[in-house]
Chains A and B, each alone.
Chain A
Amino acid sequence: QVQLVESGGGVVQFGRSLRLSCAASGFTFSSYAMHWVRQAPGKGLEWVAVISHDGSNKHNADSVKGRFTISRDNSQNTLYLQMNSLRAEDSAVYYCAGSSGNYFDYWGQGTLVTVSS
């Protein structure tokens, strides 16, 4: 069955970096655009970034532009999010999600990032 498993979350100091990973299985990863969506504790959902199926196109939300970089390795069925210059407002559960169209078909279980001062 479809599985998306995020890893790499944890507690990190303000201004430092963290890299999240998302391992995919059970579907043709290289055919899907992939996204990161985050959810601050007790809050709603916020789209963060998208990468096309072949990695040729990427877009970020304005809130993370210039700080976060999405990438993928289709040979390893893995999605990444490099997060630099982390701020308190980046504290959230980060979900990876796959999309076959303009919606999120598949979701991982999420990984928690906490930015501390």
Chain B
Amino acid sequence: DIQVTQSPSSLSASVGDRVTITCRASQSISSSLNWYQQKPGKAPKLLIYAASSLQSGVPSRFSGSGSGTDFTLTISSLEPEDFATYYCQQSYSPLPYTFGQGTMLEIK
């Protein structure tokens, strides 16, 4: 199975900061990498698919980049509602899909 490793596992930042979260796959997965945001007690929400495509309705301060094995999620200027846990997920064939372990973004 393809493993995905996220870093950091937790991060403290302030409103207005620029934040970057990294995901590394155990083998090349082309652009088959997606990002989700999850708030406590809620279901995950799709932010970015295919490494860099912004899901409809997601604010443009979120962006994704990368291909092959290394990917990043960037939030250009943190808003209060962005404090949450973020997961990457690889969707390269064959199954299974696998998720990173998550990055908890906390208010400094």
Q: Which residues of A contact B (CB under 8 A)?
A: 44-47, 50, 59, 61-62, 95, 101-105, 107-110
Contact = CB atoms under 8 A, between A and B. Distances in A.
Contacts of B100: 44
Contacts of A108: 43
B98 to A, nearest CB: 7
Interface of B: 32, 34, 36, 38, 42-46, 49-50, 55, 87, 89, 91, 95-102
A68 B65 CA distance: 36
B85 to A, nearest CB: 9
Contacts of A45: 36, 38, 44, 87, 89, 99, 102
A103 B96 contact: no
Given A44-B87, A45-B87, A45-B89, A103 B46 contact: yes
B104 to A, nearest CB: 11
Contacts of B46: 103-105
B96 A61 contact: yes
Given A45-B44, A110-B43, A103 B34 contact: yes
Given A45-B44, A95-B43, A102 B99 contact: no
Given A44-B87, A45-B87, A104 B98 contact: no
